[in-house]
Structure 1
Amino acid sequence: MKFAVITDVHGNFDALEAVLDDIDRKGDVDKIYNLGDNIGVGHETNKVLDYIFDRDDMEIIAGNHDEAVMSLVNDTPYPEDLKDKFFEHHQWIENHLDEDYYDKLNELPRVIEKKFGNKKVLFIHYEIPNEQLSAPIDKQPFSPITEPTEEAMQTLFSDKQADLIVFGHNHTVHLFDDKEKIYFNPGAVGLNNGAHAVYGLVTIEEDVISIDRVKVAYDNEEFLRGFDEKQVPGKSLIFDKFL
């Protein structure tokens, strides 16, 4: 089994297209797992959703930005921890979100669990304590981001049982093997390394797990110009923290 992992596209269509084109060129990838935060921060929401929901080889879970935007769509409580940072930006995303995607976004799971041979793989946007897996986004179910170390990952995911835990959310690459579990975050597709997008490749063969991180060059100028051209709220914060 060989699968790709993409996460944190964040409304950056050009980065997503570059990654998916690279995956398709390989010709030997069985499945793509998309770990959420496809919308928010970037401004190409509908183009991203058009692309990911049109594929039949991709399974998708929800990220915190996806759920926060949908709380506005659904008129349910918005998470307090994002109000000072992203509320106006998420309102802008909501106002530009194609209604055809409401149901699909609302139906995204938070977790995907798979078994390949004897290896159990958990796909999750970031740690959510087991007792919080069904809690609404305003209850802030996602754990605070912790430092990218093996010890921190052991503590963070101590309630999860899997041979490989694949996640996103923290846009920094993680690859740790504590002999009981492997923890892998390839980094953000849409907000990473300037004019480069990143993703992961995982091969499981005869109970051996092999992992690669792939870095793909793309032209990010149109994406950056779009913040001014579309008058996207929150540009200063986004450029300072993410770009």
Structure 2
Amino acid sequence: MKFAIITDIHGNGDALDAVLNDIDQRQDIEHIYNLGDNIGVGHKTNEVLETVLNRNDMTFIAGNHDEAIMAVANGEAYPESLKDKFYEHHQWIVEQLDKKYYSFLNNLKRESKTTIEGLNFYFTHYRILKEKMESHISDDPFEPLVEPSLEHVHGLFNGLDADFIAFGHNHVLHHFDDIETIYFNPGSVGLNNGAYAVYGLVEIKDGAINVERIKVPYDNQPFLDGFDEKNVPGKELIFESFI
């Protein structure tokens, strides 16, 4: 069996299209795990949601931006950790967001577990401790980011029993194997310092898990130009921090 992992699209519909086109052209990928942050930061909010919801081969996980945006949309408490960085930007996203997507975004799960050929797989946006799994996004349930090393990632997911743990949130590649568990984050689909998008490809064969990170070139200039064309709030911080 082969499946794909995508994460952190962040409103970049052009990068998403490039990745999905590459996945579909392979014709042997049976499922896609989408690990959250579909929207926020980028400006193609409704386009991204329409694209992913038109698929029938995708499992969805909630990202912190997805949840923070819906806190604004629902008139709920907003995370203090994001208030100085993204509150105005998230308000703008809500103004663009088609309300037909509210139910989908409000009902995203924070984790997914499955067993394939006797191997246990765990999918999440980033680690949330069991006691915080039901906490509101305003309580900052996601664990702080750790440096991409086996030691740090092993500590981050300590206590989870899985052969393979996939996550996103931190936009750089993580691929570590401590014999008992493979930890994998392919990096962000939509936010890279270059004209390429990334996703993960996982193959399970004869009891072994093989993992590959795929880089897909695309024309990122329309995405960059859109920030000025649409007067996206927070552009300076976004470009400095993510692009």
Length-normalised TM-score, structure 2: 0.99
Provide the rounded CA distance (Å) in 1 between the counterparts of 2:23 and 2:193: 19
Provide the rounded CA distance (Å) in 1 between the counterparts of 2:193 and 2:182: 24
How far did 1:126 drift?
Answer: 0.4
Matching of residue 46 in structure 1 with residue 69 in structure 2: no
Provide the rounded CA distance (Å) in 2 between the counterparts of 1:100 and 1:72: 16
How far did 1:76 drift?
Answer: 1.1
> Which one-letter code corresponds to 2:58 in the other structure?
M
Provide the rounded CA distance (Å) in 1 between the counterparts of 2:130 and 2:200: 26
How far did 1:159 drift?
Answer: 2.1
> Which one-letter code corresponds to 2:77 in the other structure?
P
Match of 1:123 in 2: 123
Matching of residue 206 in structure 1 with residue 222 in structure 2: no
Matching of residue 94 in structure 1 with residue 71 in structure 2: no
Further displaced range: 23-32 or 70-79: 70-79
Match of 1:138 in 2: 138
Provide the rounded CA distance (Å) in 1 between the counterparts of 2:184 and 2:221: 29
Match of 2:180 in 1: 180
Match of 2:23 in 1: 23
3-state SS of paired residue (2:59):
strand
Provide the rounded CA distance (Å) in 1 between the counterparts of 2:133 and 2:163: 20
Q: 1:36-115 alignment to 2 at 5 Å?
A: 36-115=36-115
For structure 2, the 5+ residue unaligned runs are none
1:132-153 CA-partner distances (Å, limit 9, x unpaired)? 1111100100001000000001
% identity of equivalent residues: 58
1:93-137 CA-partner distances (Å, limit 9, x unpaired)? 011000000001111100010100111000000010111111110
For structure 1, the 5+ residue unaligned runs are none
3-state SS of paired residue (2:9):
coil
Size of the aligned set, in residue pairs, is: 243
Contact 1:122 1:165 in 2 (8 A): yes
Provide the rounded CA distance (Å) in 1 between the counterparts of 2:165 and 2:159: 12
Q: 1:204-243 alignment to 2 at 5 Å?
A: 204-243=204-243
Match of 2:165 in 1: 165
> Which one-letter code corresponds to 1:90 in the other structure?
H
Provide the rounded CA distance (Å) in 2 between the counterparts of 1:218 and 1:77: 37
How far did 1:206 drift?
Answer: 1.9
How far did 1:217 drift?
Answer: 0.3
Provide the rounded CA distance (Å) in 1 between the counterparts of 2:117 and 2:69: 37
Contact 1:129 1:159 in 2 (8 A): no
Contact 1:43 1:227 in 2 (8 A): yes
Length-normalised TM-score, structure 1: 0.99
> Which one-letter code corresponds to 1:102 in the other structure?
Y
RMSD between superposed Cα atoms in Å: 0.6
3-state SS of paired residue (1:153):
helix
3-state SS of paired residue (2:183):
strand
Provide the rounded CA distance (Å) in 2 between the counterparts of 1:44 and 1:215: 21
Q: Deviating runs (4+, > 2 A) in structure 1? A: none
3-state SS of paired residue (2:25):
helix
Contact 1:11 1:39 in 2 (8 A): yes
Provide the rounded CA distance (Å) in 1 between the counterparts of 2:41 and 2:75: 20
How far did 1:74 drift?
Answer: 1.1
> Which one-letter code corresponds to 1:116 in the other structure?
I
Provide the rounded CA distance (Å) in 2 between the counterparts of 1:12 and 1:194: 13
Provide the rounded CA distance (Å) in 2 between the counterparts of 1:169 and 1:159: 20
Contact 1:130 1:159 in 2 (8 A): no
Provide the rounded CA distance (Å) in 1 between the counterparts of 2:13 and 2:146: 28
